[in-house]
Structure 1
């Protein structure tokens, strides 16, 4: 085998070697720059996708909070309407007859005997006993008519005073008081009209609410 002899001058060889090194470094820089650009692009896309995902999750959380807040507001409104309907139901006939009897009985003197007690609701300004009660009407006034027999006028006066002291009645009116027979002796027969102001009772109920 014939050996190869390089006849290139030393200065040319150095220049060629330097050129090769420069080209190698340029190629390395280009490759490195390309790799950096590709990696940066991939990372940017990944970060953008992750950011969109985070934004979507944050939006969903905010939406859930808004929906929960609206749901709580609707439940509170439903509870309010239920309370209003229940109050209206009570106001259509707000006072049980048994409650009225209990109040009247508590202030009835021992020497007074009640012979009748009637209860009839009506609208304000409407004449008494103008018709039967309508369950769909929110009445404003309730009339309580009481009749009875007492030993004397002092017992009637004590009974009227006791009724006037009751918060349930806004007015107590004496309709009549006349002589009557009670066994072998005489007595006093009387009639009273008591009024319950349902509007005032409704206002008191609202003031008593927490």
Structure 2
């Protein structure tokens, strides 16, 4: 299917593995040139090599996207951005009594304020050109909160509220913003969550998996 996006440029945050890589691969298959970002250079370069097999340009930026320096590095490398995929790993699981104010600030910074900053940087150019697409990978927890993911539930719900209003403001200019709300997939993040819950509760990983299903 021709989506009409061949030759456009996309930023995919956390694009070396998991859902981020899946999005990058789908875009590459549609002929979109990519700037992919992740913290670790090795996995990032491995992902880029696979993506280049689709005949598109792929540039890597190894940086922490939750920092201003990382954001500026990715944005400066990309130049004109037609498509933005915001994605970042969520905070660790725990109990309500475990989390301090600093824990909440860190979660909000990574999973709400960072995608907002990236959108604010990209939206003006998209609106001026009359076309743009933004996809935020959030979580099903914004509709059905997961008990041990209070930090993630809070931050991602905040992002959802921001997008609900902003998407309506930019749509008349030809720009759309949508949130993906995936459930559990077989990614490194899912394995990490199950391992953390198993350790905290003194149960096996299989029992942790069964408890969330």
TM over 0.5: no
TM-score (norm 1): 0.21
- Higher-RCO chain (CA-CA 8 Å, sequence separation at least 6): 2
**Structure showing greater Rg:** 1
